[in-house]
Amino acid sequence: MHDMDIVKVLANKGYILEPDALDMLKGSRDPDELIGRLLSGLDPSAFIISGKDVARIAIKPAATGIAGTPPDIRILKDITNNSTCIGDYDEFVGYFRNRFSILGDMMRNRISSRPIESILKKKGMRSASSSEKNEISIIGIVSDHRVTANGHRLIEVEDQTGSISVLIMKDSDICDMPVLLDEVIGVTGVPASDGGLFIASSIIYPDVPYTNVARHSDEPAVAALISDVHVGSDTFLEDNWLSFLDWINGDSVSDQDADLVSRLKYIVVAGDLVDGIGIYPGQDKELHILDIYDQYKKTAEYFDQIPKHISVVISPGNHDAVRQAEPQPALPEEIRSMFRNDNITFVGNPAAVEIEGVRFLIYHGRSIDDMVSNLPGASYSYPEKVMVELLKRRHLSPIYGGRVMIAPESKDHFVIDPLPDVIHSGHVHTVGICRYRGVLLANSGTWQGQTEFQKRMNIQPDPARIPLVDLKSGEVSVIKFGE
């Protein structure tokens, strides 16, 4: 369509186009279709059509368009209303038994393992037996980990039948393989001839099969991943947040982004909606809104500005008003009721949710703190690398007794099973994206500037950037909002 044709068509209907509106119409993939929608969507008393009008119409659901199709969200796994834990000591035994059994089973079809007891029993007979030279495997939980005087590593591995010391020699191929306390591993090696020691030659994780292929949606749809909004904090970046809300409403959308915005159908939130109160000592001095309910009221006002054709999934984090012990249930009804939109699904943390056939595992990511303190080389600047280590272990929070308070539920809700297509985390306030054997790992950053605490810890946040996942192609783009 020529410029003059566009101008004429609209002039015949009594409208005058501003130059940016003309540019947007010209640049759209199907100007005729867009003009049709523009004409039916415009206020009849309007006279001048601005670029903003065109952008707004461009992302509005067309009668047969993407945004008009009903949302497709299914909750696969969620602790909400399924908590069994009452705080008995015995529950920890059950919890770890469940962890060992599920993760052990994942490895049992790859290695044939022996009960640890059967190796210990052979003590003393060892020198007589030549078969001991053959490698055997065990599967167990790591209950201790230390470095010997000679620089070798000694780990204690436990199954239901016994416990054995496993030696990782300092000059072996596996000397740099990190082992975490409380994780479930497989070890292949040979028992030493002089006592209950097992010399490791390889360490096996439950891991992801090489053959894993991610699912895609049939219909075009895009999901925006956000987390750590921290409404109520005096470092909440309201201007950037408002420019995000404008953008999803079709305001200030560049021609380049118009197509993306028109396909945006989901927003997934991985926790820390508000800054909360009493989360750390002296927090009140860094709060802009001092009441937790007022913080959520403000959050609900913001979320009310999300267009109704976009569906939102909200999972909590350590700053939200739910129990600190994980898994955390969804936000309570008294907070949920503040959100007037009926396009919001509230889930727990972690939660597995299928969106248009694509499986999301949403986990706020507090265990990244424990991983950064215990995994050599792990850093807050590259959360996606930590997420790879979690995925290999098929567990969201392997270390027990660290920053993550694990509630001993009868089932281990941190086990990564079934395999998701996307793992979405937050918490560390930096954006990081990578793919591991078909699984997309994304950390969605923050809307909070650097706090005094983070300054002291030398944590550099990466605010107001959003990963957008195209559910049909699997591609990810990152968009920055505001300055």
Residues in touch with ligand D5M (CB under 6 A):
228, 272, 318-319, 369, 380, 427-429, 454, 457, 459
In the complex, the smallest distance separating the C-beta of residue 456 from ligand D5M, rounded to whole angstroms, is 9
Tokens, residue 51: 């670029």
CA 94, chain centre distance (Å): 27
Asked if 318 touches Zn ion (CB under 5 A), the answer is yes
Q: Which is nearer to ligand D5M, 104 or 365 (CB)?
A: 365
In the complex, the smallest distance separating the C-beta of residue 472 from Zn ion, rounded to whole angstroms, is 31
Among the candidate windows 201-209, 215-223, 225-233, 235-243, which touches Fe ion by CB under 5 A? Answer: 225-233
Instruction: Tell me which of Fe ion, ligand D5M, Zn ion, none is bound by residue 175, counting a contact when its beta carbon lies within the kind-specific cut-off of 5 to 8 angstroms.
Output: none
Asked if 462 touches Fe ion (CB under 5 A), the answer is no
Tokens, residue 217: 């949606």
In the complex, the smallest distance separating the C-beta of residue 285 from ligand D5M, rounded to whole angstroms, is 15
In the complex, the smallest distance separating the C-beta of residue 289 from Zn ion, rounded to whole angstroms, is 18
What is the phi/psi pair of residue 27, to 5°?
-80, -10
Q: Which is nearer to ligand D5M, 57 or 371 (CB)?
A: 371
Of 37, 394, 427, 429, the one binding Zn ion (CB under 5 A) is 427
Instruction: Tell me which of Zn ion, Fe ion, ligand D5M, none is bound by residue 454, counting a contact when its beta carbon lies within the kind-specific cut-off of 5 to 8 angstroms.
Output: ligand D5M
Strands 311-315 and 351-355, how do they pair? unpaired
Query: What is the DSSP track for 179-223?
Result: --TT-EEEEEEEE-SSSSEEEEEEEE-----TT------SS--EE
Phi-psi region of 68 (alpha: psi -120 to 50; beta: other; left: phi over 0): alpha
Q: Which is nearer to Zn ion, 51 or 329 (CB)?
A: 329
Of 31, 307, 316, 317, the one binding Zn ion (CB under 5 A) is 317
Q: Which is nearer to ligand D5M, 191 or 426 (CB)?
A: 426
Among the candidate windows 34-42, 254-262, 270-278, 333-341, which touches Zn ion by CB under 5 A? Answer: 270-278
Q: Which is nearer to ligand D5M, 137 or 315 (CB)?
A: 315
Classify 263 as helix, strand or coil: helix
- For residues 302, 304, 310, 316, the Cα torsion angle rounded to the nearest 10 degrees is 60
Q: Which is nearer to ligand D5M, 200 or 368 (CB)?
A: 368
Segment 270 to 299, residues that bind Fe ion, using CB under 5 A: 272
Q: What is the DSSP letter of 42?
A: S
* Secondary-structure percent of the chain, ordered helix, strand, coil, rounded to 5: 30, 25, 45
Among the candidate windows 26-34, 258-266, 309-317, 471-479, which touches Zn ion by CB under 5 A? Answer: 309-317
Annotate 64-121 with three-state secondary structure: CCCCCCCCCEEEEEECCCCCCCCCCCHHHHHHHHHHHHHHHHHHHCCCCECCHHHHHC
Q: Which is nearer to Zn ion, 60 or 366 (CB)?
A: 366
Instruction: Tell me which of Fe ion, Zn ion, ligand D5M, none is bound by residue 56, counting a contact when its beta carbon lies within the kind-specific cut-off of 5 to 8 angstroms.
Output: none
Instruction: Tell me which of ligand D5M, Zn ion, Fe ion, none is bound by residue 393, counting a contact when its beta carbon lies within the kind-specific cut-off of 5 to 8 angstroms.
Output: none
Question: Who contacts 423 (Cβ-Cβ below 8 Å, separation ≥6)?
Answer: 360, 361, 363, 387, 390, 391, 416, 439, 440, 441, 442
CB 392 within 8 A of CB 183: no
Residues 1-20, mask of contacts with Zn ion (x by CB under 5 A):
--------------------
> How far is the C-alpha of 346 from the C-alpha of 314, rounded, in Å?
5
Of 72, 78, 228, 356, the one binding Fe ion (CB under 5 A) is 228
> How far is the C-alpha of 365 from the C-alpha of 396, rounded, in Å?
8
Q: Which is nearer to ligand D5M, 237 or 260 (CB)?
A: 237
In the complex, the smallest distance separating the C-beta of residue 319 from Zn ion, rounded to whole angstroms, is 6
Q: Which is nearer to Zn ion, 345 or 448 (CB)?
A: 448
Among the candidate windows 92-100, 146-154, 252-260, 267-275, which touches Fe ion by CB under 5 A? Answer: 267-275
Number of other residues whose CB lies within 10 A of the CB of residue 37: 19
> How far is the C-alpha of 93 from the C-alpha of 84, rounded, in Å?
14
CB 464 within 8 A of CB 479: no
Q: Which is nearer to Zn ion, 104 or 271 (CB)?
A: 271
Asked if 429 touches Zn ion (CB under 5 A), the answer is no
Q: Which is nearer to Fe ion, 249 or 443 (CB)?
A: 443
Asked if 370 touches Fe ion (CB under 5 A), the answer is no
Q: What is the DSSP letter of 158?
A: E
Asked if 78 touches Zn ion (CB under 5 A), the answer is no
Tell me which residue has its CB nearest to ligand D5M: 428
CB 268 within 8 A of CB 313: yes
Tokens, residue 34: 């867009």
Asked if 272 touches Zn ion (CB under 5 A), the answer is yes
> How far is the C-alpha of 113 from the C-alpha of 364, rounded, in Å?
34
Side chain identity, residue 141:
I
> How far is the C-alpha of 214 from the C-alpha of 377, rounded, in Å?
28
Residues 144-163, mask of contacts with Zn ion (x by CB under 5 A):
--------------------
Q: Given the rule CB under 5 A, which residues bind Fe ion?
A: 228, 272
Q: Given the rule CB under 5 A, which residues bind Zn ion?
A: 272, 317-318, 427
